[in-house]
Amino acid sequence: MRGPVAGYALRACHRRKRAVQVAFVMAAAALVACALANPALGANVGPPPPAPSTPPSVREVTPTKLLTPTSSRGWWRPEPGQSWQWQLSGLPVDMSVAADIYDLDLFDTSPTTVSQLHVRGRHAICYLSAGSFEEWRPDAGLFPREVIGRAYAGWPGEWWLDIRQMDLLTPILEARLDLCQAKGFDGVEPDNIDAYQAATGFPLAAQDQLFFNRWLASEAHARGLSIGLKNDPDQADELADDFDWALLEDCFAQGWCEALAPFSTWGKMVVAVEYTDSGVDWQEACSQAGRLGFSLVLKNRELDAWRQTCEDQ
């Protein structure tokens, strides 16, 4: 595990070069697909410089104009009770798992895999980290250093992002959502969208997170993609109208599942993922999940193909 990074110097050149970066970002997004087939093309940047003693001020950003949804009905929405599979490691994807919905990595999953899942009558959701910088991703070189904060404790090679600097993050995240849509995914799972409660190195406020999360939801819907609220229990009530479903981690082990009751009350799917290393009382979790109307899955922390559901007992 890497320790927190102490402070970094702002680079004024990033601001002067912003127009050039934005002009090239869409072309870079197109190269992402090529990088999937040839990992050597992916950027592998080093750790960011130290964080500044005074974080950059919040920038005033006008939300991007929405695109036209891809179908007249808007976008697909998962139904409560549908079964779930989440596989981000141990590739290739094990398509023998009897699940209605597969949650897979945006960059590591090919359009062919998505198409094959559709042929089998399953839906596919793309996983991407919206609130953190991951040095191994093909588009890592597009992130300006000034938006990269402290190391993400427990996850080497990953750092928090300053989600207030939307003028710099918007083109990168839009390109990722474009790629999700182009590969044929039905929805998106944005990770790390509760950064305002973490030690990011930036003074993020709850309102910063609400703005960022609602922007993500609007952009996903503009592309005909369903979107789920990942964790962020303290803002679940305020965001229940913006997101189509919810994905929770360790909520039974940690005792905060009830916070997502607004989603199930509105007839939206809630998937609770518990992990084998948490010591969760699986029998009790299954009982509570049934009462709340949640879909419950037990996974290994590395999110390989193995899973267990309450029906497997």
pLDDT digits (tens, 9 = 90+) for 124-168: 999 999 999 999 999 999 999 999 999 999 999 999 999 999 999
Q: Please give the average per-residue pLDDT across 226-231, as a whole number.
A: 97
Task: Yes or no: say if 160 and 200 are a contact pair by the CB < 8 Å rule.
Answer: yes
Q: In whole angstroms, what is the distance from residue 147 CA to residue 161 CA?
A: 5
Place of tokens 């995914």: 185
Identity of the residue numbered 242: D
Place of tokens 């549908």: 82
| Domains of the chain, earliest start first | 12-44+78-312 (3.20.20.70)
- What is the pTM for the complete model shown? 0.78
CA 213 to chain centre: 10
- C-alpha distances (whole Å) from 280 to each of 12, 97, 140, 283 are 49, 23, 36, 9
Residue 105 parent element (H or E):
strand 101-105
CA 190 to chain centre: 2
The per-residue b/e assignment along 102-120, b for 16 or more CB within 10 angstroms, e otherwise, is: bbbbbbbbbeebbeebeee
DSSP E strand stretches across 106-225: 123-129, 132-134, 148-151, 158-161, 187-191
Q: Please give the average per-residue pLDDT across 21-42, as a whole number.
A: 40
pLDDT class for 113, splitting at 50, 70, 90? Answer: very high
- State the distance between the two ends of the chain, measured CA to CA, in whole angstroms: 36
